[in-house]
Chains A and B, each alone.
Chain A
Amino acid sequence: KQEVTQIPAALSVPEGENLVLNCSFTDSAIYNLQWFRQDPGKGLTSLLLIQSSQREQTSGRLNASLDKSSGRSTLYIAASQPGDSATYLCAVYSSSASKIIFGSGTRLSIRP
């Protein structure tokens, strides 16, 4: 059974720091992995989508990597800003389950 874990559940860092959010999954049989951002009381905004054949994707200050063999993905945020404060969720499209499975998210707080 595919399980997706995000650790830590919460993270607080000062503005300007580079940081890494982690996502791990138990079954390497995935089609893709997607990182989302969720602001309080809002829906999910897609940040990056990595296909199973890709190693990384970049968008602005964000870089997501994927290592299927070890069941890990990281979201790297460069030069963090207070506006980056949100909950970040990763989701894998599991080929065995034929659906996407979400992690519980990391709540990120950037201190000015």
Chain B
Amino acid sequence: DGGITQSPKYLFRKEGQNVTLSCEQNLNHDAMYWYRQDPGQGLRLIYYSQIVNDFQKGDIAEGYSVSREKKESFPLTVTSAQKNPTAFYLCASSIVGGVGYGYTFGSGTRLTVV
């Protein structure tokens, strides 16, 4: 079955450490997205990519970095510059920006600073 796989499900980060969250899709979707979800708040867009080797900042990109070397993969790195990284991170994909087709989401990664 086609879908989006996020790993790991749970991740713990020490102060000053960089960590990378994985997102892989086999839906042949062009566009991929990273969202952050905090308790009681809506989803906020971190980064998105509509084509391989190209990506754009979303609303809260500071302290995060991404790469899009393959169509199937869109890893997110949470750097030490992100001062409050504890949150639930969701990856999504869509066909050419999602117009008319909607978004498909992964199961999420919960990141905790220890």
Contacts and interface: CB of A to CB of B under 8 A. Distances in A.
Nearest to A9: B40
Contacts of A46: 102-105
A38 to B, nearest CB: 9
B108 interface: yes
Contacts of A32: 99-100, 102
B42 A102 contact: yes
Contacts of A42: 107-108
B84 interface: no
Query: Size class of A's contact patch?
Result: 20 to 34
Contacts of A112: none
30 contacts: A4-B42, A31-B99, A31-B100, A32-B100, A32-B102, A36-B105, A41-B88, A41-B110, A43-B6, A43-B107, A44-B90, A44-B92, A45-B105, A46-B102, A46-B103, A46-B104, A49-B102, A51-B100, A89-B43, A93-B98, A99-B45, A99-B48, A99-B58, A100-B103, A102-B42, A102-B43, A103-B42, A104-B40, A104-B41, A104-B42
Given A34-B103, A44-B103, 7 more contacts: A4-B42, A32-B102, A45-B105, A46-B102, A49-B102, A89-B43, A98-B97
